[in-house]
Structure 1
Amino acid sequence: MKNPPVTRVLVIGYVWPEPRSSAAGGHMMQILETFLTQDWDITFSSPAAIGEHKADLAALGIRECSIELNSSSFDDFIRELAPDIVLFDRFMMEEQFGWRVEKHCPQALRVLETSDLQSLRDARQQRLKDYLKQQPDADDFTPLFAPALDEEFQLMAGTDLAKREIAAIYRCDISLMISDVEIRLLTEQFHVPPALLHWCPLLIEPPTRAFVPYDERAHFLSIGNFRHAPNWDAVLWMKNSLWPLIRQRLPGAQLHVYGAYTPPKATALHNPAQGFHVMNWAEDALQVMTAARICLAPLRFGAGIKGKLADAMLCGTPNITTPIGAEGMTDEQPWPGLIGQSASVLADAAVTLYQDRQAWTQAQENGRQLLAERYAPAFHGPELVRRLTQCRSELSQQRRANFTGSMLRHHLHKSTQYMAQWIEAKNRTL
């Protein structure tokens, strides 16, 4: 009996995955590892420069291939590869390469890894900017943290970014959503068909070992890629508002701020006299997280779900965050820390949890339980494979049902194709 043909997967990455630098990089690696459990043949490609913290994909048996934007060399590449599944990492890659994939591999399943809704994140960032213009000394950000979904829709609907991102979701056969809150936003407000979306949160093995106990930990920690705007805003808010309030109550407290790609503007905030230490990139993020007593994540805007808070749960480190930080990460399970909506409330929560051994230990166990109930790879990995397999088997019917996507592909891909060909021709003459 012949073995069934091997499923060939092509990933077109916005960047090369850096799992130790960002949650998006970690999520991509979790998806790739799920595919590897099926013995799928995987090629990862990207037009981006290789970053200093890139994962060693070749060591996992994944081929690596650099590709070019606006170049017909990609046509030869994908024709020869003939993938069964093409995964676009972020909607910008679907915009750039989607028409080429459809032209040369029309029967390949087109999958979009959204990571988070960038249009939602950007709309929230603009809302924060507008709020601070009106109230530059604001302490309480409650109005920003609990809008109804229809209010989020109103923020996003008029933006070019939302139109581009949601159009890419329609053009693909299925989109992976890391946050179920964002699924509700898309289905209830933008009326995206549920059949086009699949909930795929972070895939994390629940910790089974004993956590490092309260007495063996000290200090506060904040971690996150400095290139990610929500993280940088959180660092500034901590420096200017949160941390001074914590130090008033805990004069000996120390905050260690870790992040990849530390810019000079972040290094300039380093002030040991204030207990504010900018530590650059952490070689082992889980190790420094395990040594801390509290993880601070005062995010004033953002989208998706937060890898730093999942890492905190994995390490048994209670956290202090905002409703933005906790969004999409729990389904009414007890939170592994405390949530606040103003600098003063967050600072009080941080001091209280830092000093209360019993509450701290309970928060630690809440994190363990939350990971086990919501993020277990044993459930989400097979469910992802099942959904992709089902979509492949029902591809013709699904595409017929998604006329809007077909229409958008027709119009956008034609214009994108001619623009790409014009750019390529222009580059030849330079």
Structure 2
Amino acid sequence: MPYTLADARFLLARAAGLAHRTLLSLRTRGMRASWERARAQLVPPSQALREGLYLPPATPFAPFALPTSDQPVASVVIPVYGQFDHTLACLRALAAHPPEVAFEVIVVDDGSSDATPESLPQVDGLRYHRRASNGGFIAACNDGAALARGEFLVLLNNDTVPQPGWLDSLVATFREHPDAGLVGAQLLYPDGRLQEAGGVVFCDGNAWNYGRFGDPADPRYAYLRDVDYASGAAIALPRALFLGLGGFDTRYAPAYYEDTDMAFAVRAAGLRVLYQPAARVVHDEGTSSGTDTSSGVKANQLRNREVFLAHRREALARLRPPHEPSPATLHAGQRQVLVIDALTPQPDRDSGSVRLCNLMRLLRREGAHVVFLPANRHYDGRYTDALRQLGVEVWCAPHGARAPAWLAEHGPRFDVAMVCRHYVASEFLPLLRRHAPQARLVFDSIDLHYLRETRTAEVTADATMARAAERTRRRELGVIAAADTTLVVSSVERDVLGADAPGARVDVLSNVHEVAGPGLAFDARNDLVFVGGFRHPPNVDAMRWFVGDVLPRIRERLPGVRLHCIGADVPPEVAALADAPGVLVHGYVPDITPYMDGCRLAVAPLRYGAGVKGKVNLSMAHGQPVVATSCAAEGMHLVDGHDVLVADDAQGFAEAVVRAYGDRGLWEQLAANGLENVARHFSADAAREVVRRVFFD
């Protein structure tokens, strides 16, 4: 085929566009970042990145249906101008994996001359609106917003393929974060690489697609985060807010920078702009307008940068100059707190995890940026993802290096580092002193392990255990001496350290619980419940004692009463208790709320242990009275007969259960006072003063 003048013009235009983008990148990003960006773009992506994506087959059009609603919660507005094949793929993805939330789809046709006007009216459940003339992206989006009926407006480019669960994740973000005003999706290239994990804007008005060409699972891009803006290719806002702000600003017509400006308007209205990594959307960037900013519609990007710079000059002046963004710079204005524990917390399995998750949640509410590093570096599925949905930056393999290298890279950015459990802290404190010398080092004991082990040895009369407890005591006190601050969960443990470590700075940060409310009334409740993970030896001992010595005495007077035994990691000796009359061993239960709200009494028959007992807090937070031993009630501000019943021998424990089970007035008193106890001593409000003193002063 002969080489023509048209070919030469094409190559010249392409070279000029590449040169322009290269110079712009060098100016805004620098040599290193520009090289990394070019290398990421040129190196073929791993096939594994694409394997998890849904991309509908490209087959000829035939009528189909969208399962939309006449009473939508979300209105998905798709502006189109030609590119029918892309629009068809987008709509087919919505039909193949419909959201759980009620939705409608509005396609605004901005003057297409292809198969769009003939074919789209044949899609059942689709609201098709054709504009009288072509007005551009901004006009089409604003028209769609005016037609929308849902509580939330979702703007979606036609060259996208939304992945399963995307819309539910966007809408859920507003429910979980009531101060959110705009939420953007995680945008992916069709090859699976990351296109954008939220946008960064610099003081000169230029913008950066954070994470571009990276791995979507990289910890830097995998957590919910405040962002400067989110690309209008897939964003959601409350419809009333969008309309109240006047829609996309027409000064940017026909397109470009309108989404960035909208994000600034949302923040000016006192609301947050968030990036939601769970809302994954494939975006074939540049389908409609190309990527060359030197010509065509895309040239508006350069013109509108100047418009944006003039319009938002005051807000832009508070932003950083062009640089390569990183977590350290993205959160430079926040208190940065590193939290290290042995494992990723699993709050549906143990009370220590509930406390840690709620502590990180409270730190986030107080304005800190929280980074969590599990010592085992494992990605723990939904537990890791749940932390990331709280806005916690969680690092794990294969992206996170081993501790020495990871801390060498990230240590300088932290103001505070908290390490949980003495056997984890003994490994990490020396590394933190070396790589994060500026950080305050906090040791979170969870509970004093040596105190628990000593009590175990006393109850079991085990000399070997007593020697092991003494070794633990020396190690734990060594960690306390090395830390700047030590956290314990009760005043009892603080008093113990007052004698054993008199020079240590010790603060009490107890369990942190949400008060769930009273649950069902007395007459609507039946049976007893015990909750506790069975990797914890005191829980195994408690159930064996209760079922063997206490429950038979209870059933003599309450023959129909049953015990629901709930907890993960059930050992054979606990599983065997199901053979006893009235005992149901459930093991791990994903949602224990029905047992908290429906069982009449909780029992906490612990004969030894340390710390405060999450099982007692949990029941009281649901208005469920508790019968406990002195050990289980220790350090929890409880008064026997007021907000708990306490007994330590089998006969006394059984009598307390029978009494509370049958006395409505006593039951209601214990329930009400237990709720008040949790609110006063174990809520986020109760913990806030200590958190501010330890992590922010």
Residue 117 (structure 1) shift:
0.5
- CA distances 1:327-370 after superposition (whole Å, capped 9, x unpaired): 00016586423100101100111111111111111111110221
Contact 1:21 1:53 in 2 (8 A): no
Contact 2:341 2:374 in 1 (8 A): yes
Provide closer, same or farther for how the CA distance between residues 11 and 339 of structure 1 changes in structure 2, counting only shifts above 3 A.
Answer: same
Residue 233 (structure 1) shift:
0.6
- CA distances 1:35-92 after superposition (whole Å, capped 9, x unpaired): 1113322221113356677352111221222379xx9942221122122211101111
Superposition pairs of residues 61-100 of structure 1, within 5 angstroms: 61-66=391-396, 73-81=402-410, 82=412, 83-100=414-431
Provide closer, same or farther for how the CA distance between residues 312 and 85 of structure 1 changes in structure 2, counting only shifts above 3 A.
Answer: same
Partner of 2:494: 183
Residue 290 (structure 1) shift:
1.2
Provide closer, same or farther for how the CA distance between residues 210 and 125 of structure 1 changes in structure 2, counting only shifts above 3 A.
Answer: closer
Superposition pairs of residues 102-251 of structure 1, within 5 angstroms: 102-130=433-461, 159-187=470-498, 189-193=499-503, 196-206=505-515, 209-251=517-559
Superposition pairs of residues 22-421 of structure 1, within 5 angstroms: 22-48=350-376, 49=378, 54=383, 56-66=386-396, 73-81=402-410, 82=412, 83-130=414-461, 159-187=470-498, 189-193=499-503, 196-206=505-515, 209-271=517-579, 274-330=581-637, 335-390=642-697
Contact 1:156 1:162 in 2 (8 A): no
Q: Which range is displaced more, 78-87 or 248-257?
A: 78-87
Question: How high is the TM-score relative to the length of structure 1?
Answer: 0.78
User: Secondary structure of the residue that 1:54 maps to in structure 2?
Assistant: helix
Q: Structure 1: give runs of 5+ residues left out of the alignment.
A: 133-154, 391-430
Distance 2:371 2:543 in 1: 37
Q: Which amino acid aligns with 2:627?
A: I
Distance 1:322 1:129 in 2: 17
Distance 2:629 2:468 in 1: 25
Contact 1:170 1:192 in 2 (8 A): no
Q: Which amino acid aligns with 1:285?
A: I
Provide closer, same or farther for how the CA distance between residues 348 and 176 of structure 1 changes in structure 2, counting only shifts above 3 A.
Answer: same
Provide closer, same or farther for how the CA distance between residues 51 and 301 of structure 1 changes in structure 2, counting only shifts above 3 A.
Answer: farther
Contact 1:305 1:328 in 2 (8 A): yes
Q: Which amino acid aligns with 1:201?
A: S
User: Secondary structure of the residue that 1:320 maps to in structure 2?
Assistant: strand
Partner of 1:408: none
Distance 1:210 1:291 in 2: 10
Partner of 1:13: 341
User: Secondary structure of the residue that 1:230 maps to in structure 2?
Assistant: helix
CA RMSD between the two structures: 2.5
Partner of 1:136: none
Distance 2:470 2:404 in 1: 32
Provide closer, same or farther for how the CA distance between residues 325 and 53 of structure 1 changes in structure 2, counting only shifts above 3 A.
Answer: farther
Distance 2:380 2:577 in 1: 25
Residue 28 (structure 1) shift:
0.4
Structure showing the higher helix proportion among its residues:
1
Partner of 1:413: none
Distance 1:224 1:385 in 2: 30
Q: Which amino acid aligns with 1:227?
A: R
Distance 2:450 2:417 in 1: 23
- CA distances 1:390-418 after superposition (whole Å, capped 9, x unpaired): 2xxxxxxxxxxxxxxxxxxxxxxxxxxxx
Partner of 1:414: none
Identity of aligned residues (%): 27
User: Secondary structure of the residue that 1:317 maps to in structure 2?
Assistant: coil
Distance 2:518 2:425 in 1: 44
- CA distances 1:137-194 after superposition (whole Å, capped 9, x unpaired): xxxxxxxxxxxxxxxxxx899801011111111111111111111001111x214236
Contact 1:222 1:258 in 2 (8 A): yes
Contact 2:518 2:597 in 1 (8 A): no
Contact 1:334 1:366 in 2 (8 A): no
User: Secondary structure of the residue that 1:119 maps to in structure 2?
Assistant: helix
Distance 2:344 2:637 in 1: 29
Q: Structure 2: give runs of 5+ residues left out of the alignment.
A: 1-316, 320-331
Contact 2:487 2:506 in 1 (8 A): yes
The higher-RCO structure (CA 8 Å, 6+ apart) is 1
User: Secondary structure of the residue that 1:324 maps to in structure 2?
Assistant: helix
Distance 2:544 2:522 in 1: 28
Q: Count residues in correspondence.
A: 362
Distance 2:382 2:549 in 1: 32
User: Secondary structure of the residue that 2:383 maps to in structure 1?
Assistant: coil
Contact 2:335 2:696 in 1 (8 A): no
Runs of 4+ in 1 over 6 A off after TM superposition: 155-158
